[in-house]
Structure 1
């Protein structure tokens, strides 16, 4: 499916690797936010069991990254994407996002929505570059979130 990796629905056996990936990807934001970002404390077992978590797996069967997305009415909520630190720069995150977008189109969703933390400044430029537009900013659960949407 991708360059040197495939994307598949996550299995229960992937939970530890997914959690390690999230901790590695988001750990650098703890000091700036004053607490762990939501993706670091997610219930990955439930997300995997509900079928909304997909993983990028290398040819050697190593988990390289993951994405969480699901339907909310006529929209898809793209909740989380992370890539292992040793796999950054290989296009895995972009391919996971493209996978989410493809699945959303296939299911006739009207748009994809996502949010990020305002402290994750690189995301504030990446998502517009991928065709998402900022639609709202608000504080939720003690986090200053920036919401984006992409019509499909």
Structure 2
């Protein structure tokens, strides 16, 4: 059983980089360029306490990036190592993100994903996220979603 997600440290950066690369590389062809999370500054995000990691089998297998905002918690990124996908780690990270948002006093959690990542849109919709709008940012066509928190 994997432990609970924990705050990432600089020692986790190689594993975070590998997960991001391995999880997002398959989408490059579909999108026509690297997805946004592949160009994020994870050292900066870790230093600001925004990244939590989830270990399984003694190794980091997933991560979530959470950014508090005035109106909602932004779930900026959620990624699971391809070898661990389908094992429930993504679900655990999503549950963790929603719980952290509640604990921080947010009444909603929001996210965005690329419109070409249709499986992600469907997954979030099944979890209660509703599309709020679509927009192009940084040359990427994004679908914005929001979920009210009880």
Q: Same fold judged by TM-score > 0.5?
A: yes
Residue 76 of structure 1: which of 73, 78, 83 is its match? 73
Partners of 1:110 and 1:101 lie apart in 2 by 10
Q: Does 1:109 align with 2:106?
A: yes
- From 15, 19, 22, the equivalent of 1:21 is 19
Measure, in 2, the Cα distance between the counterparts of 1:74 and 1:29. Answer: 30
Partners of 1:128 and 1:114 lie apart in 2 by 11
Contiguous gaps of at least 5 residues in structure 1: none
Which of structure 1's runs of 4+ aligned residues deviate more than 4 A?
A: none
Alpha-carbon shift at residue 4 of structure 1 (Å): 2.8
Count the aligned residue pairs.
149
Partner of 1:135: 132
SS of equivalent to 1:144: strand
The 3-state SS of whatever aligns with 2:116 is coil
Residue pairs, 1:51-70, within 5 angstroms: 51-58=49-56, 60-70=57-67
Q: 3-state DSSP class of the match of 1:5?
A: coil
TM-score, length basis structure 2: 0.96
